[in-house]
């Protein structure tokens, strides 16, 4: 396979080309770093916007494609600001995958100046609208939190990879089917764990409103301090409203997500009888040695933590 190099011809604006050249010079200075995302092993590069998509894409790609994530584990992804080296990586990629549904507020501008194919992996998912706050009525972007919706992501990846690399289309289809069976298994585990909780223990209270799809699949009632990370977070009114809800419903445990501060939720805990149930993972995987290095582990981890919190550890 021919070695790829930055392709200024694929950049539509001069300013962007200058940024890429500057980033290339920076990278050249540290070119001896053999490991890391910059190395080129000859495989076509698929660049995803965040770690959850990267993990799914690796399961579909198998050995044929090199899948990378623009954002790192733990990063805030809604309001991320791409760096010049992100732009350079995008220019060098053969394909870019984004979630869509308004998740990556920064992405549209990011790809507008690039001539690199991109696929929206949530295409075909039935969106759940955001109920309130500044984003009311817009689609909730966190569709991957439903393993059933994640199957649509996988189908879109199979199609995009097969178009990129038709020679291995049969492998992408087979990988997608094998991973689909895992998604079904984790869906069954999730619903078995959460669908039978007693009526009084079915409220899932989190920082961001990231659990609409998971709550739908499991019949939980969703309540959050703020709707989407990209907006102003945790106003006094939002915190007071959450405190009222927790008190009125005798909610035993509340949670917060790994990519945001849990301070506002700690305030809720101090003002109510609820315990802090722990850190849920949604917008990012953990590092490889953390609790959720893969998407399937993310769903299993969250399901267990929610069940333990809402039942006092009896689930």
The residue (of 136 and 178) whose beta carbon lies closer to Zn ion is: 136
Least Å distance, CB 105 to Zn ion, is 11
Segment interacting with Zn ion, rule: CB under 5 A, options 92-100, 221-229, 236-244, 303-311: 221-229
Nearer to Zn ion, 76 or 308 (CB): 76
Q: How many whole angstroms from its chain centre is CA 144?
A: 7
Identity of the residue, 17 or 210, whose beta carbon is nearer to Zn ion in the bound complex: 210
- Helix (H/G/I), strand (E/B), else coil: 16: helix
Q: Pick the piece of the chain touching Zn ion (CB under 5 A) from 14-22, 178-186, 202-210, 265-273.
A: 202-210
List the structure tokens of 77. 């992804």
CB of 210 to Zn ion, least distance (A): 5
Task: Give yes or no for residue 98 binding Zn ion (CB under 5 A).
Answer: no
# residues near Zn ion by CB under 5 A: 3
Give me the residue whose beta carbon is nearest to Zn ion: 283
Residue 161 to residue 157: CA distance in whole angstroms: 6
DSSP string, 269-291: HHHSS-EEEEEE-SS----TTSS
CB of 53 to Zn ion, least distance (A): 13
CB of 213 to Zn ion, least distance (A): 12
Q: CA 57, CA 51: separation in Å to the nearest integer?
A: 10
Tokens for 301?
């981890």
Q: Residue 302 interacts with Zn ion (CB under 5 A)?
A: no
* Mask for 222-261, x = binds Zn ion (CB under 5 A): -------x--------------------------------
| Cα 189 to Cα 166: distance, rounded to the nearest angstrom | 35
CB of 63 to Zn ion, least distance (A): 31
CA–CA distance, 184 with 59 (Å, rounded to integer): 15
Q: CA 146, CA 310: separation in Å to the nearest integer? A: 20
Residue 283 binds to Zn ion (criterion: CB under 5 A): yes
Find the shortest distance in angstroms from Cβ 283 to Zn ion.
4
**Least CB distance to Zn ion at residue 229 (A):** 5
What is the distance between the alpha carbons of residues 84 and 35, in angstroms, rounded to a whole number?
20
Regarding 298 and contact with Zn ion (CB under 5 A), the answer is no
Binding of Zn ion by 210 (CB under 5 A): yes
Radius of gyration over every alpha carbon of the chain, rounded to an integer in angstroms:
21
Of 144 and 161, nearer to Zn ion (C-beta) is: 144
Q: What is the dihedral of CA 271, 274, 276, 281, to 10 degrees?
A: -110
| d(C-alpha 197, C-alpha 103), whole Å | 30
Residue 160, classed as helix, strand or coil, is helix
- 102 vs 147, beta carbon nearer Zn ion: 102
| Residues contributing to the site for Zn ion (CB under 5 A) | 210, 229, 283
């Amino acid at each position: 396979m021919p070695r790829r190099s930055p392709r200024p011809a694929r950049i539509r604006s001069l300013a962007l080309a200058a940024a890429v050249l500057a980033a290339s010079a920076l990278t050249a200075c540290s070119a001896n770093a053999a490991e890391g995302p910059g190395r080129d092993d000859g495989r076509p590069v698929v660049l995803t916007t965040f770690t959850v998509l990267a993990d799914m894409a690796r399961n579909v790609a198998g050995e044929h494609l090199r899948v990378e994530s623009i954002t790192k584990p733990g990063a805030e992804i809604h309001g991320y600001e791409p760096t010049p080296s992100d732009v350079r990586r995008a220019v060098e990629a053969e394909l870019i995958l984004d979630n869509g549904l308004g998740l990556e507020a920064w992405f549209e501008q990011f790809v507008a100046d690039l001539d690199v194919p991109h696929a929206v992996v949530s295409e075909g998912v039935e969106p759940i609208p955001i109920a309130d706050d500044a984003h009311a009525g817009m689609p909730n972007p966190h569709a991957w939190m439903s393993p059933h919706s994640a199957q649509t992501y996988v189908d879109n990846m199979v199609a995009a990879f097969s178009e990129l690399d038709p020679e291995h289309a049969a492998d992408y289809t087979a990988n997608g089917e094998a991973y689909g069976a895992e998604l079904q298994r984790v869906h069954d585990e999730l619903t078995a764990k959460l669908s039978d909780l007693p009526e009084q223990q079915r409220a899932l209270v989190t920082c961001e409103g990231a659990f609409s799809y998971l709550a739908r699949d499991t019949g939980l009632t969703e309540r959050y301090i703020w709707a989407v990370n990209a907006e102003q977070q945790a106003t006094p009114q939002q915190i007071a409203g959450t405190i009222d809800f927790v008190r009125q419903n005798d909610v035993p445990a509340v949670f917060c997500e790994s990519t945001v501060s849990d301070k506002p939720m700690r305030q809720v805990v101090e003002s109510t009888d609820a315990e802090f149930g722990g850190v849920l993972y949604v917008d990012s995987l953990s590092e490889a040695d953390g609790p959720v290095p893969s998407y399937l582990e993310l769903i299993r981890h969250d399901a267990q933590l929610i069940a333990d919190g809402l039942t006092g550890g009896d689930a």
